[in-house]
Structure 1
């Protein structure tokens, strides 16, 4: 795995940045809304400068909820090429598959963080 460059803790999550991806770990019990997407978005815009492409890896270790309609707003993040979801439970995998229908960019689901990072590093040029 590529060594992280920096970690930022927000009120609802931790963001760990590498050269071409960010790993988010949302806190237990959070309802992820457009407002929280925007809070994280300001940090993403600061880190990934204009035209710097990246993939968002959502490391789902905690239980939280996402308003799937808010995925429609991902066009607000033009540098984000794709999303990789990491989960190792069937319930979270089922939720991720449901959310995939609302996401207009490439969206892959993985069992391990290592698999997701490997996918990003091997596919970033083709996304």
Structure 2
């Protein structure tokens, strides 16, 4: 399965075991954005484990409080941040403290995908 979705704040690509999200430039991600994630996960991963991969190609901000809601998604088994940008990786390390499920930071998308597949195979 590969489905591409576009929203006003991001582009999502849905795969069998994970989704890859690219947030648009200048967006401030808040807990309100979780409603879109919940709708997508209910539609494509209703009773199936998945991993969320954010591919940070653009500059945007994240309110860490979003993770208090995101972590409540039962079938979400892991969260990965992919970026080559040093500051984005530092920000991700701070965000990691608010997330109680597996959370990894990668430089390359294929590394995050490999990790996601491994997390799903162990769940």
> Please, what TM-score do these two structures have when normalized by structure 1?
0.91
Once the 2 structures are TM-superposed, how far is the Cα of residue 126 of structure 1 from its aligned partner? Answer: 2.1
Aligned counterparts of 1:70 and 1:16: Cα–Cα separation in 2: 20
Once the 2 structures are TM-superposed, how far is the Cα of residue 11 of structure 1 from its aligned partner? Answer: 1.0
Show CA shifts across 1:19-78 (max 9, x none): 00000100000110111121232122111112x000000100001111001211123311
| Count of residues in correspondence between the two structures | 123
Unaligned runs of 5+ in 2: none
Show the counterpart of 1:83. 79
Aligned 8 A contact 2:71 2:99 in 1:
no
1:36 aligns with 2:33: yes
1:106 aligns with 2:102: yes
Alpha-carbon RMSD across the aligned residues, in angstroms, is 1.2
Once the 2 structures are TM-superposed, how far is the Cα of residue 89 of structure 1 from its aligned partner? Answer: 1.2
1:66 aligns with 2:62: yes
SS at match of 2:46: coil
Aligned counterparts of 2:118 and 2:63: Cα–Cα separation in 1: 30
Aligned counterparts of 1:37 and 1:113: Cα–Cα separation in 2: 23
Detail structure 1 runs of 4+ shifted over 4 Å in the superposition: none
Unaligned runs of 5+ in 1: none
